[in-house]
């Protein structure tokens, strides 16, 4: 046995991949490295869970402030699972697992292949924690035959040697269980491969749709339309669920329609759409309430509603007006000349209108609900428009994702299940038996080891000895 161990060690040291550099190899083979990567993945996954993914910059600025919002975008925490550094952690863990497997699997496999021991030192048996010695009133050959019959009935593999009044039997069972950890390593590699494939070739994003909107996806051949959005309530008034009725349009034809809600997505050609959230749009209205008035004369005000993006004649005037823009919390970026909403909440609502005199566009001002009249809506006129209120429109927040690595992950999960069964429910039993004749009886020494579940092994030894001594 010592010689075999020495040869195995020499073979391990001679493996080609250890010549890459002992320091690098030892680092990649380190359990501390594994723990560090796992902790890093767990810690970053907390950010991925706590921070909403694929939301627009305005949402992060509204929730976390301008500094933290920009930092989230800069560090890819808004799309964490597809970021280069998250892929790097996964790749690093995969390399670590490969190195650990290469380090441990070859000698283990070699020892399993070369495990059969035709002859051994009988004193070895007495060193095992589980061993017995008994005297049987039968010839050594008869004892051997009984033992082989019992062992084979219990599905042990056996090797028998010797002759005359001395026999050696080596038996084993459940060798494959020793490979359970290696199967788990393989499953982890498959799962990580699936994650990398999904990260590189898949994508995840979110969209906010109003009823009637149609969206075209750059990577797909079809379009998505939101036909209806509604909320179901309990009798108590609490929200039970919120729903979207979606239609898939491909080649100009409606090919699929489905109602989705939380945990009930629409799946078309590998692209899944999930109901994520809802709310009042911060960039669109159903209608705005305007007042047309004379700047000096009192009692001339006329209030009227204006539908979104629909020209409406102003009562008792030569003008018509159209609402073309809305922001719930007005903000202006001077550098980019961009108007945006600082938050989803209507803290500083403003609308953009177009004022026409006949067919002529007169002006296109922003009107503020909280600051009426701050900017004149009609240049060089005694009349003005005042924004007095609005009726919001609901949006449906959808998340969509495509992950071509999903099937690889499922295969890896199945392999992991097999590995767990092998590791936890298949026990590697090894039994050494020495039979020695002497006068009227035969002495039998039996002992062995098991890699786990010593109670089961004690039962095996007891059943073997009882079966032989009772015959």
| 64-94 residue pLDDT tens | 888 888 899 889 988 888 888 998 998 889 8
Angle between helices 454-470 and 140-153 (to 10 degrees): 130
**Every domain of the chain and the residues it spans:** 2-113, 123-174+427-470, 199-280+397-402, 282-394
DSSP string, 363-432: E--EEESSSTTSS-SSTT-SEEEEEEEEEEEEEEEEEEEE-TTHHHHHHHHHHHHHHHHHHHH---EEEE
Q: State the pLDDT at residue 414.
A: 95
**Mean pLDDT, rounded, of the chain:** 88
Task: Report whether pLDDT(360) > 90.
Answer: yes
Distance of alpha carbon 377 from alpha carbon 386, whole angstroms: 8
Least confident of 105-114, 145-154, 260-269, 396-405: 105-114
State the virtual CA torsion across 254, 256, 259, 265 in degrees, nearest 10: -130
- Whether the pLDDT of residue 213 is over 80: the answer is yes
Position 8 pLDDT exceeds 60: no
CATH of region 123-174+427-470, choose from 3.30.310.80, 1.25.40.390, 3.40.50.620, 3.40.605.10: 3.30.310.80
**pLDDT score of 16:** 52
285-335 pLDDT tens trace: 999 999 999 888 887 789 999 999 999 999 989 999 999 999 999 998 888
Nearest residue to 174 (alpha-carbon basis) of 467, 468, 448, 464? 448
Q: Is the pLDDT of residue 417 over 50?
A: yes
Which of the pair, 471 or 438, is modelled with greater confidence? 438
Contact assessment for residue 214 and residue 223, using Cβ atoms and an 8 Å cutoff: yes
* Helical packing angle, 31-50 and 84-113, nearest 10°: 140
pTM of the model: 0.62
Rounded to an integer, the average pLDDT of 273-292 is 93
Number of neighbours of residue 101 by Cβ within 10 angstroms: 18
Distance CA 95, CA 32 (A): 14
Cα–Cα dist 172/156, whole Å: 5
Give one DSSP letter per residue of 99-165, joined into a string. Answer: HHHHHHHHHHHHHHHT---SS--THHHHTSSEEEEEEESS-HHHHHHHHHHHHHHTT-EEEEEEETT
More confident residue, 333 or 447: 447
**Residue 232: strand, helix, or coil:** strand
* pLDDT tens per residue across span 30-60: 888 888 998 998 888 888 888 888 777 777 8
């Amino acid at each position: 046995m010592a010689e075999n161990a020495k040869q195995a060690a020499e073979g391990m040291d001679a493996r080609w991949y250890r010549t890459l550099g002992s320091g690098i190899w030892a680092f990649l083979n380190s359990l501390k490295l594994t723990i560090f990567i796992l902790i890093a993945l767990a810690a970053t996954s907390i950010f991925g869970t706590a921070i909403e993914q694929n939301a627009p910059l305005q949402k992060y600025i509204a929730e976390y402030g301008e500094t933290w919002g920009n930092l989230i975008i800069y560090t890819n925490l808004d799309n964490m699972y597809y970021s280069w550094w998250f892929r790097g952690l996964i790749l690093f863990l995969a390399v670590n697992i490969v190195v650990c497997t290469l380090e441990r699997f070859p000698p283990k496999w070699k020892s399993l292949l070369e495990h059969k021991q035709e002859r051994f030192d009988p004193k070895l048996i007495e060193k095992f924690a589980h061993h017995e010695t008994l005297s049987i009133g039968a010839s050594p050959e008869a004892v051997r035959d009984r033992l082989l019959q019992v062992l084979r009935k219990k599905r042990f593999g056996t090797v028998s040697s010797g002759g005359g009044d001395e026999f050696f039997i080596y038996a084993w069972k459940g060798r494959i269980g020793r490979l359970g950890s290696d199967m788990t390593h393989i499953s982890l590699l498959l799962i990580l491969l699936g994650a990398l494939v999904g990260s590189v070739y898949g994508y995840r994003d979110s969209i906010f749709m109003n009823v009637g909107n149609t969206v075209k996806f750059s990577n797909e051949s079809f379009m998505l339309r939101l036909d209806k959005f509604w909320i179901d309530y309990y009798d108590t008034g609490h929200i039970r669920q919120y729903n979207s009725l979606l239609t898939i349009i491909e080649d100009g034809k409606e090919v699929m329609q489905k109602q989705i809600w939380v945990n009930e997505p629409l799946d078309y050609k590998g692209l899944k759409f999930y109901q994520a959230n809802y709310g009042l749009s911060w960039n669109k209205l159903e209608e705005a309430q305007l007042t047309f008035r004379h700047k000096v004369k009192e009692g001339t005000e006329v209030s009227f509603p204006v539908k979104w993006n629909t020209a409406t004649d102003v009562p008792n005037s030569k003008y018509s007006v159209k609402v073309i823009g809305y922001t719930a919390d007005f903000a202006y970026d001077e550098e980019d000349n961009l108007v945006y909403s600082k938050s989803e909440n209507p803290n500083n609502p403003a609308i953009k209108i177009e004022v026409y005199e006949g067919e002529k566009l007169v002006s296109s001002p922003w009107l503020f609900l909280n600051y009426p009249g701050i900017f004149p809506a009609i240049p060089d006129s005694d009349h003005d428009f005042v924004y007095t209120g609005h009726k919001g429109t609901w949006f449906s927040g959808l998340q969509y994702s495509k992950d071509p690595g999903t099937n690889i992950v499922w295969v890896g999960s199945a392999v992991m299940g097999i590995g767990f069964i092998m590791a936890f429910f298949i026990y590697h039993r090894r039994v050494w038996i020495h039979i020695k004749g002497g006068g009227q009886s035969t002495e039998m020494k039996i002992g062995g080891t098991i890699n786990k579940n010593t109670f089961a092994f004690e039962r095996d030894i007891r059943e073997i000895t009882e079966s032989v001594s009772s015959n």
